[in-house]
Amino acid sequence: MPELGRAALVVCFGLALYAVVAGFWGAHTRRRRLSRSAQNALVAAFACTIVASAVLLVALARSDFTFTYVAQHTSRELPTPYKLASFYGGQEGSLLLWLLVLTGYSTAAVLLDRKAGRELVVWVVPVLGVVAAFFSMLVVFVASPFHTQLANVDGAGLNPSLQSPYFQIHPPLLYLGYVGLTVPFAFAMGALLSGRTDERWIVATRRWTLAAWMFLGVGQLLGAKWAYEEVGWGGYYAWDPVENAALMPWLAATAFLHSVMVQEKKGMLKVWNMLLVMLAFSLSLFGTFLTRSGVLNSIHSFTESSIGPWFLGFICFVVAASLALLFYRLPMLRAKTKLESLVSREATFLYNNLLLVALCLTILWGVTFPILSEAVRGEAVTVGRPYYNFFFRSFGLPLLLLMGIGPLIAWRRASLSSLKRIFFGPTVFALAVGILLIALGAGSSLPGLIAYTFSAFVAATIVLEFARGTAARRTLSGDSVPRAFTSLIARNRRRYGGYVVHAAIVLLAIGIAGSSAYNTSRSARLGPGQSLKLRDYTLVYRGVTNTRSANAIEERATIDVYRGGSRIAVMHPGKNDYPVEQQVSNEVAIRSDWLTGEDLFLITEQVNGNGTIDFKAIINPLVNMIWLAGLVFVLGSVITLWPDAREEQRLAIRYGRLARAPEPQA
Amino acid sequence: MIALSVAAVLAVFLLYSSIAGGGTPSLRPSSLSGHSGKVSVSGVVLKPVTGDAHGAGLRFRLRDKNGTAAVPIVYKGTVPDAFKAGGDIVVDGRYANGVFTAIPGTLITKCPSKYTPKQTT
Amino acid sequence: MLTAALVIGALLAVAAVWFVARPFLGREPDVLPAEPPPERLALEEERDRALAALKDLEFDHRTGKISDDDYRGLVGDLRRDAAEALKALDRGTPRADARVPD
């Protein structure tokens, strides 16, 4: 069976190479058959990857330890869902997953996308083929999932921290995001290669970019939730290089989503958009490289691997080739329109872009600094949280404010009087909230206070937008309020879906500010019956229990939680001991208060021989806003993604499928 | 205009870097001597591991990953679950008089397989 | 097991080759279909942009973001832009429905 897997991947590699060569040649000489053949090769490559993936999944499910990969990442006792999820738990498997998603997306992109037009697609195919060829080359020659060995009695097992539902879906979602950014990149390169400077590539890839961006965002939030619950130090983001690896392309993609709107409305920023999509894709490759090659000292990836140099080489190639192409086509891309006013919606989009890209680049600098300093000074110097926090606040808070300002400013230019009128309400509201918060003690953290005040401002603007829109709709159609509201959103999906996403970001900001600027914690060593007081909670330690589960020994401390004199919960923080993997994992206990959105976070750090425990309690205010933000984020993205029949028709006419004569038949 | 903004951003952050004095040097036990400030040291944990991290302090020796030079370490604070003799760790602290005194809570473990984040604040 | 793997693998390779070779066996002409020339596309995008700008202005005015004075000031320019875009598009029409390029 491993032979089948290997063979399928070799065929896939051959097909990808063919797609590149035939694709470029067919597009260059405008030969339809050759281009079609190249396109078919991509689709066939997808089929081959499916076969290879199926072989691996079957081997995992059957615990076939003749597969080295299966032996390294699973064990007999492992529950089946985790066995299957180990498909992407190791390096080789995750590369195969990249390839699977890539060929899948490629197939969908070239088959389903009618808006793009043949002239563009014939160039997109070979670009996608190049990326597919790279990844299939890796899984065939450098890091094959199909190495065989003499079967072990049992495998090495899965790291216990990864045995969590969050971690089962976190990698696939992230990959749907990372790989998804390949499609807009390929279309952008296709546009440059075909010499077309129109917006077709943007129109064709708008939903792809949105979907990839959504998956990347959700994937990161799930990763944060996993870190919060499984790794359990009380936080959810450590500015670890691998976390940053996913954040950077997401920031670039966010900037891109906004700046394409400017190109759409005003025909400006064509070159900037090209650069952004290149940046997003390169960062996505770089992110995969960071996670996989162990090039940096991070708690995520300490192994040196063979694929590092290949990745670096490919990234350099991609950056160099795309920049060269852009430079070659530069004269065609120059826009005729200029920015009319520094106070206009276009301008706020530009500021938003600058801030996002600046944040992205500072994170990139922080991540690569250790390598660079080691190369230059001979000593690796790491930057810590203070660096990231400083820039996150410096750029993030203005971004938050812009989110409230942008939607309210008109396109082209806004007059001072209309600005005063529009912003009066939200500003007053925000100031009132700010003063109230200071009275409640939020002045202890200035960034936190600013974050809350800005959030109030943005929230007010969003509410006003919906209110004004609904009112305007009602004057037009005379509908009731609910009907007007839904039809408003239905007729303006992009605008109001975008507002919902902004609302999600506001919730995120509130959650982050609350849990990082206003949290409290205490540690103590407790004997049975002793208690620890933290703000209005009293925590009493009762004792320790041990139970046996399928693959672990579970040690739990029983803690009674009192508030206001009555017991509100019993919590069981503790540890799991996994004999097969020879590891211990932290199992924290979290109690979420639904009224206040805060979490009581308990960690049993150490169980001592004399019956005492070393114990830490943390209160994270408003942290659940972050997870709520995730849900709202998905809702907003889905609204924005939702197909719009009228828009589709308009684009179909523009790109000549309805109003034109039918294509010549043989 | 874009160029101006980029320049402004670079200026801000270069300013910060110079004020903040850069980051923390990442060293090995063999290269510790001569550094008196806060540093980060990484290496392999040697037996025996004695003491109590939540009491008087956890004591062990840390060896270079590719070498024999070792340094004694005293650590107080949260110990990640994956910590054990023979494992790779990173910890921040100060080196003085032949002993590395760790900053509480900065011990991070590495695990042999990928995707294994073990972290404490 | 090994023979099953070999058979499936061989079938896969054959299927792939057939699928890739298929376009060469068809009867369609070996040229790409006609598409609107770039100049016309640019004009159409210009027109769509001008019309969208007008629509945005109306929307902003109706929802109260732009005052009546501002609206009066801006709408003239936008209407003019839209009219020019439409005229340019009409002028460019005879060159539409491009022949098959060689």
Residues A466 and A393: their CA atoms lie apart, in Å, by: 28
- Give the residue on A whose Cα is nearest the Cα of C3: A1
Q: Are residues A393 and A442 in the same domain?
A: no
Q: Note whether residue B75 is domain-resident.
A: yes
Q: What is the C-alpha separation between B28 and A334, in angstroms, rounded?
A: 52
Q: Which residues, in sequence order, are CB contacts of A257 under 8 Å at separation 6+?
A: A209, A210, A213
Per-residue pLDDT, B120: 29
Least confident of A170-174, C15-19, C60-64: C60-64
A354 and A500 fall within a common domain: no
Which H or E element spans position A4?
helix A2-28
How many Cβ atoms are within 10 Å of C1's Cβ, its own excluded? 9
- Is the domain of A373 the same as that of A423? no
- CB-based contact C89:C44 (threshold 8 Å): yes
Q: How confident is the model at residue A570 (pLDDT cuts 50, 70, 90)?
A: very high
Q: A440 in a domain, yes or no?
A: yes
By C-alpha distance, the chain C residue nearest A44 is: C16
Counting the structural domains of chain C, the total is 1
**Residue C43 within a domain:** yes
Using the predicted structure, report yes or no on whether residue B121 has a pLDDT greater than 60. Answer: no
* Structure-block tokens of residue A413: 């230019």
Whichever domain contains A565, its CATH number is 2.60.98
Residue A162 is classified by DSSP as: G
pLDDT in tens, A301-329: 433 567 878 888 999 999 999 999 999 99
At least 3 CB pairs under 8 A between chains A and B: yes
Other Cβ atoms within 10 Å of A604 Cβ, number: 25
Parent domain of A250: 169-410
Residue A248 region by backbone torsions, left for phi larger than 0, else alpha for psi between -120 and 50, else beta:
alpha
- Decide if A394 is inside a domain: yes
Place of tokens 């009112």: A471
> Minimal CA–CA distance to A245: which of A170, A178, A168, A305?
A178
Q: Is the pLDDT of residue A55 over 80?
A: yes
Strands B24-27, B57-63: pairing kind: unpaired
Bridge-based pairing of strands B39-52 and B24-27 is parallel
Give me the pLDDT at residue B38, please. 85
Residue C100 lies in a domain: no
B111, A91: Cβ pair inside 8 Å?
A: no
* Domain-located, residue C61: yes
Which of A40, A421, A656 has the CB atom closest to C35's CB atom? A656
* pLDDT band per the 50, 70, 90 thresholds, residue C67: confident
The mean predicted confidence, pLDDT, of chain A is 87
Cα four-point dihedral sign A246, A247, A250, A256: negative
User: Is A585 within 8 Å of A569 (Cβ atoms)?
Assistant: no
What pLDDT, on the 0 to 100 scale, is given for residue A549?
A: 84
pLDDT value for B31:
81
Question: Is the pLDDT reported for residue A209 higher than 80?
Answer: yes
pLDDT band at residue A663, thresholds of 50, 70 and 90? Answer: very low
B93 inside domain: yes
Q: Whole-angstrom Cα distance, residue A511 to residue A600?
A: 15
> Which domain-ending residue is among A467, A485, A517?
A517
Q: Are the Cβ atoms of B81 and A240 closer than 8 angstroms?
A: no
The count of structural domains within chain A is 4
A:B CB pairs within 8 Å: 126
Q: What CA–CA distance (Å, rounded) separates A26 from A515?
A: 56
Is there a domain that residue A655 lies in?
no
Domain match, A476 and A365 both: no
Range of the domain at B30: 24-110
User: Are residues A233 and B119, on separate chains, in Cβ contact within 8 Å?
Assistant: yes
Q: In whole angstroms, give the CA distance from residue C32 to residue C101.
A: 8
> Domain containing B48 — which CATH number?
2.40.50.140
pLDDT (tens digit per residue) in A61-108: 988 888 989 888 888 878 888 888 889 888 889 899 999 999 999 999
The answer to whether A660 and C22 have CB atoms below 8 angstroms apart is no
- One-letter amino acid at C94 equals P
Q: How confident is the model at residue A195 (pLDDT cuts 50, 70, 90)?
A: confident
pLDDT at B117: 31
pLDDT at residue A420 is higher than 90: no
Q: What pLDDT, on a 0 to 100 scale, did the predictor assign at position A584? A: 82
Same domain, A421 and A385: no
Q: How many angstroms separate the Cα of A200 from the Cα of each of A121, A182, B95, C66?
A: 11, 17, 61, 31
Q: What range does the domain containing C43 cover?
A: 37-95
Contact in structure between A92 and A41 (CB atoms under 8 Å)? no
In A, which residues are within 8 Å of C12 by CB distance? 7-8, 11, 47-48, 51
Q: Are residues A262 and A188 in the same domain?
A: yes
Single pTM value for the model = 0.89
Q: Which of B24, B110, B118 sits opposite A381 (nearest CB)?
A: B24
> In this model, does residue A116 exceed pLDDT 80?
no
In the chain, the amino acid numbered C26 is: G
Q: Does the structure show a pLDDT above 70 at A377? A: no
Nearest residue, CB atoms, A8 vs list C12, C22, C26: C12
Looking at residue C101, its pLDDT comes to 39
Cα distance from C88 to chain A (closest Cα, Å)? 15
Q: For residue A273, give the 3-state DSSP assignment.
A: helix
Q: What's the pLDDT at A631?
A: 96
What does the pLDDT read at residue B29? 84
The percent of residues above 90 in pLDDT, for chain A, comes to 46
Question: Is residue B18 in a domain?
Answer: no
Quick: pLDDT tens for C4-31. 888 888 888 999 999 998 888 877 777 7
Q: Would C88 be classed as within a structural domain?
A: yes
Kindly state the tokens that stand for B23. 């980051």
Residue C52 is assigned to a structural domain of this protein: yes
Q: What is the reported pLDDT for A302?
A: 36
In a domain, C15, yes or no: no
- Please report whether residue C51 resides in a domain: yes
CA distance C54 to C60: 10
Q: Are residues A292 and A338 part of one domain?
A: yes
Q: For residue A653, is it within any domain?
A: no
- Backbone dihedral angles phi then psi of residue A482, each to the nearest 5 degrees: -60, -40
- Please give the ipTM for the structure prediction: 0.83
| Residue A404 domain flag | yes
Residue B1 belongs to a domain: no
pLDDT of residue A407: 87
